[in-house]
Amino acid sequence: MSVKKNYVVETIRRAQLAQLLAEGKRIDERALDQTRPLTIETGLIQKANGSAKVTLGNTQVIAGVKIATGTPFPDTPDKGLLVVNAEILPLSSPYAEPGPPSEDAIELARVVDRGIRESEMVDLTKLCLIPGKNVVTIFVDCNVMNVDGNLFDATSYAVVSALRTSKMKKYVVKDEKVESTEEWVPVPVERTPVSVTLARLGDKMIVDPVTEEEASMDMRITITTDDDGHICASQKGEASTISPAQVLEAADTSIKVGKQIRAKILEATK
Amino acid sequence: MVEAKKKLIDGSGKRLDGRKWDDLRPISLQVGLMKNADGSAYIEWGKNKIMAAVYGPKEVHPKHQVLPDRALLRCRYHMAPFSVDERKNPAPSRREIEISKVIREALEPAVIVEDYPRTAIEVWVEVLQSDGGSRCAGITAASLALADAGINMRDMVVGCSCGIIEDTVVADLDDTEDKEGSGDMPVAIMPNLGQVTLLQVDGIYSREQFQKAFELAIEKGKQIYGMQRDALTMRFFGGEATSTQVEEVAE
């Protein structure tokens, strides 16, 4: 992702990484299923309803939540709107460019959105004000500030942390009209989805790859799990394959690592 | 997830269209219908009607996209404005851009791109009518179109989606089941190499349901692979095709 493919360097580095992995080692001395240090700072943008800055190793993402009211989608008249978007900013990497979102940025936004949506993290039925006419709309926009691999997980953690700490105006319906009160209430958050991404290099699977590992990886798989260890979203990426056994192995790793990350997110956002 | 108005599975285990939990919708495949394309395939899968065409290997434009050691595989999944209930804006949506990417990444492991350095191979997937599982149907047709174009391949690619409706794992969701059910899992495989080339999941699955749906998708994919082989036999050898006949020809 946003990594310029340099064939010569990539090929040489790939052989080095594969050799290290064969000995069970990684370039930054992590275990294969070990994530990088994760720090979460919330409430840094006062003008947003909620915000979070997530630092995962050298990858950094800021998510901001803006909440208003609007019309619902015609096929879900009794549900609020939750839209997650992500942008890979030109300041985040020498290889990122301004302009319309790249294929990578669109995939990033959609995969993160899927994890949040499918886990039913926010109870959207509680955000309906006048069915078919007026609902609460939540937009979560993510700015990737620094790219060093695994944007999927860092962005997802930023969205979850921002939503968990967001406050919205309490809306009341009077005479078929929506009025905003001065009272602040939390967003109806029910679940804590956690996304875990693994990269495959040769026959080894590694958790939370850095840019250099991503430049050499064959395949990437992101799996999002919820508080019950249920799987609620997944996406395989890159032009290579994964064996059925590796898919199940990745699912088990995601459930295990997801638990550790969830504890950190809950601690940082309580 | 929308509360299902009608039960998607009735008391006797029948789905809305009468299928059992592991039944596929009717599938028909035809290869080589397009005159200009180097390879093409048309698939009807339930109400899906999809044409896939391949052009290439050809010169790469713009030139800076040339890959020195392999072919550049381009892929576009596009839905016709009339393919869905409400007219779809013909401009590529974010959904179509993502699906184009995952289809390309599902096909590329099967294409021996190293055999065609400095060229482009273009795969155009046009959804004329959409039902559930159009990306899997598109992949199944695109793989046939690549074979029809004579592109060197390691294996065919075949897609099938499984999912969850009424807390039951089922094969091959149609439009209604996709929208009102509680999970959809498109999977594409290379059946002979036993590798997965596309996996997307949404919905809520227990670990057991996840495995069951995933393994069901692989099993159904292998079944559809038989139909792919029949379609290729029809294209190149004519007559009544069966999977066994293909094996004889291959020998």
Q: Which two tokens stand for residue B235?
A: 């294209």
Residues A22-44, mean pLDDT to the nearest whole number = 96
Query: Do the chains contact at B94 and A109, CB–CB below 8 Å?
Result: yes
B-chain residues near A192 (CB < 8 A): none
- Please name the member of B105, B201, B214 whose beta carbon is closest to the beta carbon of A233: B201
Cβ A84 vs Cβ A176: under 8 Å: no
Q: Where are the domains positioned within chain B? A: 27-250
Across-strand partners of A206?
Answer: A199
- Dump pLDDT digits (tens) for B187-203: 999 999 999 999 999 99
Nearest CA-CA partner of A28 in A215, A270, A213, A228: A213
- Dump pLDDT digits (tens) for A157-176: 999 999 999 999 999 999 98
pLDDT at B248: 47
Examine the pLDDT at B249 and tell me if it is beyond 60: no
Q: Name the pairing type of β-strands B120-129 and A194-201.
A: unpaired
* Residue B139 Cα, gap to closest chain A Cα (Å): 14
Contacts of B7 (CB under 8 A, 6+ apart): B166
Query: Which CATH architecture does the domain made up of B27-250 adopt?
Result: 2-Layer Sandwich (3.30)
Cβ B173 vs Cβ B133: under 8 Å: yes
- Please name the member of B1, B98, B199 whose beta carbon is closest to the beta carbon of A234: B199
B-chain residues near A247 (CB < 8 A): 196, 199, 214
Cβ B163 vs Cβ B216: under 8 Å: no
Give CA A261 to chain center in angstroms.
12
d(CA B131, CA B50): 10
- Dump pLDDT digits (tens) for B75-107: 999 999 999 999 999 999 999 999 999 999 999
- Please name the member of A120, A221, A255 whose beta carbon is closest to the beta carbon of B207: A255
Residues A29-47, mean pLDDT to the nearest whole number = 97
If you average pLDDT over every residue of chain B, what do you get?
A: 93
| 3 state DSSP class of B243 | helix
pLDDT at B244: 46
Cβ A200 vs Cβ A14: under 8 Å: no
Read off the pLDDT band of A152 (50, 70, 90).
very high
- The H or E element that residue B52 is part of is strand B48-58
Residue B57: asked if its preceding bond is cis (omega within 30°), the reply is: yes
Residues A80-106, mean pLDDT to the nearest whole number = 93
Residues B39-43, mean pLDDT to the nearest whole number = 97
Across-strand partners of A258?
Answer: none
Query: Do the chains contact at B211 and A229, CB–CB below 8 Å?
Result: no
**Closest chain A residue to the Cα of B107, Cα to Cα:** A239
- Roughly how many angstroms between the first and final C-alpha of chain B, as a whole number? 50
Read off the pLDDT band of B238 (50, 70, 90).
confident
B-chain residues near A109 (CB < 8 A): 94
At residue A82's C-alpha, the angle toward residues A78 and A84, to 5°, is 160
CA distances, A64 to each of A42, A120, A129 (Å):
10, 19, 23
At residue B61's C-alpha, the angle toward residues B58 and B64, to 5°, is 120
B-chain residues near A236 (CB < 8 A): 102, 105, 196-200
Residues B131-152, mean pLDDT to the nearest whole number = 97
B98 Cβ under 8 Å from any chain A Cβ: yes
Domains in chain A, ordered, with CATH?
7-268 (3.30.230.70)
Read off the pLDDT band of B15 (50, 70, 90).
very high
Examine the pLDDT at A154 and tell me if it is beyond 60: yes
- String of b and e for B52-76 (b: at least 16 CB within 10 Å)? bbbbbbeebeeeeeebeebbbbbbb
**Closest chain B residue to the Cα of A74, Cα to Cα:** B86
Cβ B182 vs Cβ B2: under 8 Å: no
Give CA A77 to chain center in angstroms.
27
Contacts of A267 (CB under 8 A, 6+ apart): none
- Dump pLDDT digits (tens) for A214-230: 999 999 999 999 999 99
- Dump pLDDT digits (tens) for A125-151: 999 999 999 999 999 999 999 999 999
Q: ipTM of the predicted structure? A: 0.89
d(CA A234, CA A196): 9
d(CA A210, CA A57): 8
Read off the pLDDT band of B250 (50, 70, 90).
very low
Residue B117: asked if its preceding bond is cis (omega within 30°), the reply is: no
Query: Do the chains contact at A118 and B68, CB–CB below 8 Å?
Result: no
Query: Do the chains contact at B94 and A243, CB–CB below 8 Å?
Result: no
- Please name the member of B97, B105, B214 whose beta carbon is closest to the beta carbon of A238: B105
Examine the pLDDT at B246 and tell me if it is beyond 80: no
Cβ A112 vs Cβ A152: under 8 Å: yes
pLDDT at A269: 96
Give CA B54 to chain center in angstroms.
15
